[in-house]
Amino acid sequence: MRFFVWLRPVAFLLVLLIAWEIAVRMHPGLILPGPIAAFAGIFELMHHGLLLKYAVASLFRVTWGFVLACITAIPLGLALGWRRRGEIALSPLIELFRPISPLAWIPIAILWFGVGDLSAIFLIYVACFFPLLITAMSAVHNIPAVYINAGRNFGLSATAFVARVLYPAVMPQLLVGMRITLGVAWLVVVAAEMIAVNSGLGFLIVDARNAGNRYDLVLAGMIAIGVIGLLLDLAMRSLEQMKSFRWRSSEE
């Protein structure tokens, strides 16, 4: 019964929500609201147009930061993956900067860009740059030698080689890396907005708490963040499924 199989996770979630609501009702002094209040909060935000406005602000920053990182990190990563010496040279520096939380860049971001959109975009950029760089390098390493040799065998020029062998060969792994990095970007934008900016879903959470302990709105914000993040992930996954990128799975 296919329908019932799909019903099970939904039922599970409902059970958890009900348990949460009951737990909240049993502790009247608790500041944390229950799911009903949280969902009411979502409607309130939508009604005031705030949810859309803040979601768009967050998405705007993510898009810009992510795209800029893609444009810079991916070609660089592909080049480094190809030229081993370059990779050997820069690898220690990359490994040093990678574990630094993007948020640790906030003071520098504020110094260079002030408080606002540009700062947030810079943070997203930093957060996306290193994972994309590493993914691109790794993707080049993983190109089976047979493809490279075939490309050489057919006497392809450099540009033709990149377009007809390199690009299709790295695409599947790149897409997976991009999807994961987009997830990271979404996490970072929310955190960055909680600290350094005055709009967006992250700011919504901080503001709702500071200006009146509206924890129902805090939870509403968290739910919105979760849902949008999930949608972004699903959108990227559907991109991966497109036929021209799907050859990888048939290899395995």
- What the block records as the tokens of 136 is 């691109």
CB-neighbour burial class of residue 218 (10 A; exposed 0-12, middle 13-18, buried 19+) = buried
Q: Which residues, at least 6 apart from 142, have a Cβ–Cβ distance to it below 8 Å?
A: 173
Each residue 211-240 as x (binds other proteins by CB under 8 A) or -, in order, gives: ----x--xx-xx--xxxxxx-xx-------
| Minimum CB distance to other proteins, residue 93 (Å) | 6
Restricted to residues 125-144, the positions that interact with other proteins (CB under 8 A) are: 141
Which of 211, 244 has the CB closer to other proteins?
Answer: 211
Restricted to residues 179-198, the positions that interact with other proteins (CB under 8 A) are: 183, 186-188, 190-191, 194-195
CB 124 within 8 A of CB 66: yes
CA dist 173 and 142 (Å) reads 9
Please select the residue that binds other proteins; options are 202, 203, 216, 220, rule is CB under 8 A.
Answer: 202
SS3 content of the chain, % helix, strand, coil (to 5): 85, 0, 15
Please select the residue that binds other proteins; options are 50, 69, 106, 139, rule is CB under 8 A.
Answer: 106
Please select the residue that binds other proteins; options are 90, 115, 156, 162, rule is CB under 8 A.
Answer: 90
- What the block records as the tokens of 133 is 């760089």
Which of 9, 49 has the CB closer to other proteins?
Answer: 9
75 contributes a contact to other proteins by CB under 8 A = no
Instruction: Tell me the residue type at 222.
Output: M
CA dist 168 and 182 (Å) reads 21
The residues of the shown chain that bind other proteins, judged by CB under 8 A, are: 5, 8-10, 12-13, 16, 30-32, 82-85, 88-93, 95-108, 110-111, 141, 148, 183, 186-188, 190-191, 194-195, 202, 205-206, 209, 215, 218-219, 221-222, 225-230, 232-233
